[in-house]
Amino acid sequence: MKMSFHGIGGVLTGWLAWKRRNRANKVCFMLSVALAAIVTGSYVWAVTHPAPGDFARYIVFNWIWGLCAIGLIFGMAEYRTSPLRKNREPGHLVILLYLGALLIVTRMLNMVLFHG
């Protein structure tokens, strides 16, 4: 089965109801996704370049972990303004679920990678 990029993009934007979202909701969603990407990328790098006992890196990754918590705040704001929530459509909790899991996993990784 051949799918074009337009088809996949169309399915994704339809699932997220991108056209029905207002500007504030789109901004909160994109901020949440950006922060989740930064945190995910940082921890992928940390897993591939571990430094047990490096206190400076431990502090930096605690700060990065805090970015995940800020992402959750934006995710909750996105949820409150989401047109998806009103109709209980799929896609309205994706970023909150991902950031919540990321918050738990990255805290564990911080303890394991840097023995904090």
- The structure's pTM equals 0.77
Alpha carbon distance 95, 79 (integer Å):
9
What kind and span of H or E run contains 11?
Answer: helix 5-15
Residue 79 in tokens: 């949820």
Residue 63 in tokens: 């700060």
State the residue range of the domain holding 30.
Answer: 5-114
Q: Write the Ramachandran bin of 53: left for phi over 0, alpha for psi from -120 to 50, otherwise beta.
A: left
CA-closest candidate to residue 79, choices 9, 28, 7: 28
When divided into structural domains, the chain yields a total of 1
Alpha carbon distance 8, 84 (integer Å):
20
- pLDDT tens-digit readout, 30-57: 899 899 999 999 989 988 988 888 888 8
> Alpha carbon 10 to chain centroid distance?
21
Alpha carbon distance 47, 104 (integer Å):
15
Residue 3 has what pLDDT? 43
Choose between 80 and 37: higher pLDDT.
Answer: 37
Mean pLDDT of 74-79: 86
In this structure, the number of other CB atoms found within 10 A of the CB of residue 71 comes to: 26
- pLDDT tens-digit readout, 81-106: 877 777 776 666 788 888 889 889 88
Task: Give the number of residues written for the chain.
Answer: 116
